[in-house]
Every structure is written in structure tokens, then in C-alpha cells.
Amino acid sequence: MAVITPVWTHFDLAKSALLSGKHVFIEKPFTATSQQAEELIEIAEKNGLTIMVDHTFLFTPAVRKIREMIDQQELGQLYYYDSTRMNLGLFQRDVNVLWDLAPHDLAIVDYLIGAEPEAIVATGTPHLNGLTDVAYLTMYFPDKVIAHINVNWLSPVKIRTTVIGGDKKMLVWNDLESDEKIKVYDRGVHVDTQQDEYNLRVNYRSGDMWSPKLEVRKALKTELTYFVECIQNSIRPINDGYAGLRVVRMLEAAEESLKNKGETVYA
């Protein structure tokens, strides 16, 4: 069964589907609370059923390529993930901009970094109907990896741009480009550690830029084919209930920080 309804309905619909013995494909964010997510995972596990959360971007050729580059150490040690996801609307009635747009980046970060954040800070403001419509989310991961996500329903233009920096290479992923979505830059800095802090010498490297060839395929089609394969072969999906739960936990931490004017929330 596919649950493609507003977030507040996800839990009840998915629960009744699972209790009727159905595998569930469910929209992001998985549930409105982590407690609901845990309950659905437990029901699915008890009944040998598959939950797949629609973290669509994990099935895009762009994200697959970036993951491959990270796995092959092409970017080197990761420094940061910085994403801007903004457009005019669409205003949701049941969730704020964090719960609407940030799940995409949180799922991507979870997939690319492969670690849970140690701390989260979120700030934002509601301008119109009491729901935050502009928000900035910062996540601190182990090994000094930092992620920043800018989500906004009040932008005059649509922007879907992510910059990822590593100590070997850096890349810019513009999802609105039809060709050359990803540009990889052989740019970076090298610090001469022999120097003392005052005389710190930073050497800049500015090499080639190139755009890797990406496969042309529809993410949703790939994802749904994978859903069927997972069910038929009892494979645990990369975007299973636990992946959905991790994203919901990050959203809850961000929401708590947002309510407390950007107070750091430790995981």
C-alpha cells in the first residue's frame, strides 16, 4: 500500500495497512513523531513486512554519483554539506517548512555521511500563518563534518543547490540544471602545520573543474522497482523505517531548537 497523504494522516493509515498484512510505501516525513515511527517499525518487524519511506533523492543519479565519489574517497575527508532549498510556497497547512522541505536534505545527509548528528541548531520565523516559513538548520557530525540546510517558502525564485566540500575535492550540485547537474572542483586549501598559529600559511589549490556524466533515469521508477525487489527478496531497503525514524528524530531535535530560539539540542 502507498501512503501519499498529509503527514498527520501517515501513522493511522500506515498502521492499519500493516495490521492488514500489507507492505507500506510511505511519503516523507515518515511520521509526525518518532514514537509513531518506532511503533510502525515494531508492527512491520513482527509481521515480516517492509516499510519504505519515500526518500526520493536517494534514487537520483546525482545523489548516487555523490555517494560513489564519497565512498571512493574522491572528495577526501568531508568538511561540510551546505544546501539551499527554496521557492515561493507551497505553503502546507499541517507542517512548517522544516518538516516539508528539510526531510529531503536530512535523508541525503543521512545517506551520504552515514552517521547521526551529535548536535542540532535550528532557527527560523513564521511570517504569515504561525508556521515557520523560513528556517536555517545546522547539524554537527563526528569528525568535524558540518551540515547546513536553508529551507524557505518565501523565495522569489526556486533554488536547489548543494555545495559539498572535502579536503581533496569540492562539488556543486544544482538540481535545476538539466545537464551538468554536478560540477566537481579540484580546489582546496593546504595548511602548513609546521608554522605556528600566528604565521599560519594557507596554500590554495585551484585545479580543473569537470562534470561527471549522470545516468538518465526517473528516481521514483527506480525506487518503486527497488520496493518490489526488497519485498520479493526480503531485502532491507536503504530507506526503511529506521531511515525514516532517523530523519524524524532530526526534525524533532530541530523543532525543539527552533522553539528555544536556536538553542543547541544534543543527540
* Part in contact with ligand NAD (CB under 6 A); list of ranges 2-10, 16-24, 41-49, 74-82: 2-10
Looking at the Cβ atoms of 25 and 136, the one nearer to ligand NAD is 25
Give the whole-angstrom CA distance, residue 188 versus residue 248: 34
Instruction: Between 170 and 230, name the residue whose CB sits nearer to ligand NAD.
Output: 230
Strand, helix or coil at 227?
helix
- The span of 4-12, 45-53, 143-151, 191-199 binding ligand NAD (CB under 6 A) equals 4-12
183 by Cβ neighbours in 10 Å (0-12 / 13-18 / 19+) ranks as middle
Give yes or no for residue 4 binding ligand NAD (CB under 6 A): yes
Helical H runs in the chain? 7-19, 34-46, 61-71, 97-113, 219-232, 241-259
Separation CA 7–CA 251 (nearest Å): 13
Does position 6 interact with ligand NAD (CB under 6 A)? The reply is yes
Number of residues that bind ligand NAD (CB under 6 A): 9
What is the rounded distance in angstroms from the CA atom of residue 160 to the CA atom of residue 264?
Answer: 26
Q: Which is nearer to ligand NAD, 79 or 173 (CB)?
A: 173
Binding piece for ligand NAD, criterion CB under 6 A, among 5-13, 109-117, 127-135, 238-246: 5-13
For the CB of residue 127, give the shortest distance to ligand NAD in the complex, in Å: 20
Segment 23 to 62, residues that bind ligand NAD, using CB under 6 A: 27-28, 54, 56
Q: What cell does 214 get?
A: 549522470
Nearest to 51 by CA among 2, 103, 115: 2
In the complex with ligand NAD, which residue's Cβ is closer, 56 or 150? 56
Is residue 16 part of the contact set for ligand NAD (CB under 6 A)?
no
Give the whole-angstrom CA distance, residue 26 versus residue 54.
Answer: 6
Can residue 9 be called a binding residue for ligand NAD (CB under 6 A)? yes
Q: Which of residues 231-260 bind ligand NAD (CB under 6 A)?
A: none
CB–CB of 187/205 below 8 Å?
Answer: yes
Neighbours of 207 (CB within 10 A): 10
Between 91 and 140, CB nearer to ligand NAD: 91
| Beta-bridge partners for 122 | 137
Kindly tell me which residue out of 7, 70, 247, 265 binds ligand NAD, with binding defined by CB under 6 A: 7
- CB half-sphere exposure, 205, CA atoms < 13 A: 15
Q: Which is nearer to ligand NAD, 6 or 114 (CB)?
A: 6
Contacting ligand NAD within 72-101 (CB under 6 A): none
Q: Among the candidate windows 3-11, 155-163, 200-208, 247-255, which touches ligand NAD by CB under 6 A?
A: 3-11
Please say whether the beta carbons of 104 and 83 come within 8 A: no
Q: Which residues bind ligand NAD (CB under 6 A)?
A: 4-7, 9, 27-28, 54, 56
